[in-house]
Amino acid sequence: MALDRWLALFIALIFLIYGYTAFFQMDGLLPPILQRNPVWPSTFPKILSVIGVFGALFVLMNIEKTDRQISDDIIVKNWRLYKIFDALTLIVGMVIYALTLRSLGFLAATFLFLSLGAALLGERRFLLLIVVSGMASYGIWYLVDSVLGIYMTPFPIFLNVS
């Protein structure tokens, strides 16, 4: 079996476990007053798990391959040709982003992560990159803070007056 099918099988198992917890374990913890709501906290995880399982099965059954498609299977012998360093750098950047959210504040940490991540992935229009990263950072913060009502520190710790 090809590597993409092994990965699809692994992802399908993860989504099956995620779906099991969403369908059978999360709803039992709800208080009786919330059980009458049409949308429960487990609704979105249920939808995600079903989509994830179908997507993984789609790859497992090899439906996405066509006759016109050029072979894109991963050749392990040529591992130096793949951008493994960029992928690992992006993962390290995600960890650093999570660790600096409180100290730098949401706006600065998100802006830096989006900007540096896009530059790492090859974006060279830096003015556009700065504008889009700034708008995305502020937009996400506004939605989470104002619309959802979840407070996130927008500015660095030394600028917050409490």
> pLDDT tens digit string along 79-92?
677 778 888 999 99
pLDDT class for 74, splitting at 50, 70, 90? Answer: low
Determine the Cα–Cα distance for residues 129 and 119; give it in Å rounded to an integer: 8
Q: Above 90 in pLDDT, residue 131?
A: yes
- Count Cβ atoms within 10 A of the Cβ of residue 39 and give its class: 0-12 exposed, 13-18 middle, 19 or more buried: exposed
d(CA 68, CA 120): 31
Whole-structure pTM value? 0.57
pLDDT tier, 48 (very low <50, low <70, confident <90, very high otherwise): very high
Confidence at residue 140, expressed as pLDDT on a 0 to 100 scale: 92
